Amino acid sequence: MRDVIGTDDAEKISAGTHSDPFSVLGLHMVGGKPTIRVYRPDVSAVDVLDAKTGRKALSLSRLPDHPDLFTGTASRRKAPFDYRLHFTKGEHVWEADDPYRFGPVLGEMDEHLIAEGAHLNLWQVLGAHVMEHGGVSGTHFAVWAPNAQRVSVVGDFNGWDGRRNPMRGRGATGVWEIFMPGLGDGEAYKYELLDAGGNLLPQKADPFGFGAEHPPKTASVVRKINGHQWTDMAWMTKREARHRIDQPISIYEVHLGSWKRVPEEGNRPLSYLEHAEQLVAYAKDMGFTHIELMPVSEFPFDGSWGYQPVGLYAPTIRHGTLEEFRALVEACHAANLGLILDWVPGHFPEDQHGLGRFDGTPLYEHADPKEGFHPDWNTLVYNYGRREVSNFLVANALYWFREHHIDGLRVDAVASMLYRDYSRKEGEWVPNRFGGRENLEAIDFMQRANTVAYGEVPGIMTVAEESTAFPGVSAPVDTGGLGFGFKWNMGWMNDTLSYISEDPVHRKYHHHKMTFGLHYAFSENFVLPISHDEVVHGKGSMIDKMPGLGEDKFANLRAYYGFMWGHPGKKLLFMGCEFAQGMEWNHDSSLDWHLLDQPHHAGVQNLIRDLNALYRDTPALHQLDCKPEGFEWVEEGAADESIFAWVRKGTADSPPVLVVSNFTPVERSARRIGVPYAGRWVEKLNTDAKLYGGGDRGNMGFADSEHVAASGRAHSISLTLPPLSTIFFELQEGA
């Protein structure tokens, strides 16, 4: 019996517009006989081989009106059979498996969970997965595009021709899938889509791609994610204890592209493997507890620093492969360092190969630009109210935690997600269903993301970069909070940097800027951030912000860092700030490591190393970081002298610590400071020490209290306060 493909099917297959290619191509029983159909525009002949014996089963014939379509019937067979294809093109011959002889990979439960927006392992079913299917090795591709007429996977393997490998639609879920035999790790690919009207769209990178080509190329790359043998179980079992609010957390924020470069090799950035050796060793030596990386999710434009990501599931290829990124994670854990990633679920760029109008419709973003476009960044805003989009983002958080053993996510630009009128003028935003400005869908998304992340992955932490007074950012979801573990204290950062930038003669008029933060310091679990945003875009470096000349600038900076490390809250410092980087941060250049040859820069570095050690080893400085009972003002009103003094407390068995800052260039001799407890107060750190580049002025190592009233207390100590300094004293045990 001769196989006849309907004219409409043949035309659509040849044109690449058929919405159900598996109903035509591959093996079908026609008149009780196995019939095989193949679309292949670049060959002269196609034969069919029995996959078990390797023998020729039949030769296929071209359709007269559609010469790229080959068909034939195995007249001697009565049942379907496994087969391979033998191609001829001139003098070249080769064999390959037919993608259209393989059944679906996705199961009914996957389809159900995808449709519900409740698939917590979504990345394990969508994207490109190297696997064995039907006894054959290859790669399974799956993508969500519910409004597309046709979706194809394209790459070098099919000449980037979308007619060659159209995918199987999975009905109501909007997912398309295909198993491509013979493809494996390292294969570049994209998706080619026709919209509902049959219009060809720009080729798209895979939203779930685990790898990508090096920019400016934009294809996704197949990366095998299974089978890695992790060696960090010792860290993973103890990290939960390291992330409690009563633990010392000191974070070193890093931009991998500019921390250090190799001038001998075209000024290239370090690789993941080089960072695993050099960055990890440096951060450990400096006493930080965590490294925070600016976004590593694949992004097209270097100047965005990663904050406009296209490939949320792909560690950027700029520094190496996915496996090499995992090596960096393991190196951190081997050094007892946690690794935090900046995560950007707030917006995405309009690049044609990205998520924008993915299937010809505003799929991931809102259709109305008043909701779906960010005027500040010229980016698109996720439609958090769409369950599939929320699922895409929640699953992405779990992906980084589970597949890469990441310890924390710092969520970027939370304020822009919380408010519908963020950076918008009147009439340029859409109120919520109650007429308010809060983005209720984004709030629901963040609550779900935090609930799922903390519930599914033990020991992780999430941190919000949130710049408003939105209540309960780090409060539990069941009490109405957003559920983050910590929140950046942007108000503290703005106020204190404003203060320290003032000439000391004027600081008495701005005294409140250093004390105001204590009015709300315990309303959230705060991180005190001196981040990349404070040393870029004309803001100058930290040392540039300091008033005065020469040594005074360094003394100001050292005193400020002492104030910061003595203040309640976890710590975050951007790279270069730890040694008083001279120039404003430039993402295209290395930090100025040569400055460490100069004593004052090396002194600041020594100070940060010692501040981290003091913070880590002194319970009173971290145990009650987020509790009001851990802080007590001693001197908060000495504005004319620009002096601040306070006591930090830990649990009952932890000796208290007195912190005193003098923000004038005047030495205060015999200055009485009240103390809550009588005894010997031992000097633990003095930012004016010679080791740090100071004048080595102080109190000979300790001060004994006297029954002399001061600062509203019955006992006090007489101190020498060096100019522009911060000093830490700990009550000696048994005193």
pLDDT digits (tens, 9 = 90+) for 437-485: 999 999 999 999 999 999 999 999 999 999 999 999 999 999 999 999 9
412 catalytically annotated: yes
Instruction: Give mean pLDDT, residues 480-492.
Output: 98
Residues paired with 685 in a beta bridge = 728
Residue 411 in tokens: 């969520």
What is the pLDDT at residue 1?
43
Residue 496 in tokens: 């204190």
Q: Are strands 486-488 and 526-530 parallel, antiparallel or unpaired?
A: parallel
> For the chain, what is the largest distance between any 2 Cα atoms, rounded to a whole number of angstroms?
112
pLDDT at 187 over 90: yes
What is the pLDDT at residue 490?
97
Residues paired with 411 in a beta bridge = 343, 464
**Which of these, 284, 297, 286, 287, lies nearest to 332 by C-alpha position?**
284
Contact between residue 35 and residue 171 where contact means Cβ atoms under 8 Å apart: no
Summarize pLDDT for 662-678 with one digit per residue, the tens: 999 999 999 999 999 99
Amino acid making up residue 500: I
Query: Catalytic: which of 98, 412, 578, 683?
Result: 412
Residues paired with 217 in a beta bridge = none
What is the pLDDT at residue 258?
98
pLDDT at 638 over 70: yes
For residues 236 and 330, what is the distance between their CA atoms, to the nearest angstrom? 10
The string of DSSP codes covering 227-286 is: ------HHHHHHHHHHTSTTS--EEEEE-TTTSSEEGGGTTEEPPHHHHHHHHHHHHHHT
Asked, as a colleague might, if the bond just before 216 is cis with ω within 30 of 0, I would say yes
In order of their start, the domains of the chain are: 7-101 (2.60.40.10), 108-221 (2.60.40.10), 247-343+395-405+451-619 (3.20.20.80), 627-731 (2.60.40.1180)
For residues 406 and 397, what is the distance between their CA atoms, to the nearest angstrom? 10
The pTM assigned to this predicted structure is: 0.96
Instruction: Give mean pLDDT, residues 631-656.
Output: 96
Strands (E), 504-556: 526-530
551 catalytically annotated: no
What is the pLDDT at residue 2?
57
> How many CB atoms lie under 10 A from the CB of residue 393?
20
What is the pLDDT at residue 75?
84
- Residue 680 burial by CB count (10 A; 0-12/13-18/19+): exposed, middle or buried? middle
Instruction: Give mean pLDDT, residues 56-85.
Output: 92
Q: How far apart are the first and last CA of the chain?
A: 104
Instruction: Give mean pLDDT, residues 356-380.
Output: 95
Instruction: Give mean pLDDT, residues 5-14.
Output: 92
Q: What is the pLDDT confidence band of residue 172, given thresholds at 50, 70 and 90?
A: confident
Percentage of the residues of the chain whose pLDDT score is greater than 70: 99
Contact between residue 695 and residue 529 where contact means Cβ atoms under 8 Å apart: no
For residues 56 and 242, what is the distance between their CA atoms, to the nearest angstrom? 64
How does the average pLDDT of the chain come out, rounded? 96
For residues 665 and 660, what is the distance between their CA atoms, to the nearest angstrom? 15
Query: Catalytic: which of 47, 298, 465, 578?
Result: 465
Q: Is 119 left (phi over 0), alpha (psi -120 to 50) or beta?
A: beta
pLDDT at 78 over 90: no
Instruction: Give mean pLDDT, residues 149-172.
Output: 96
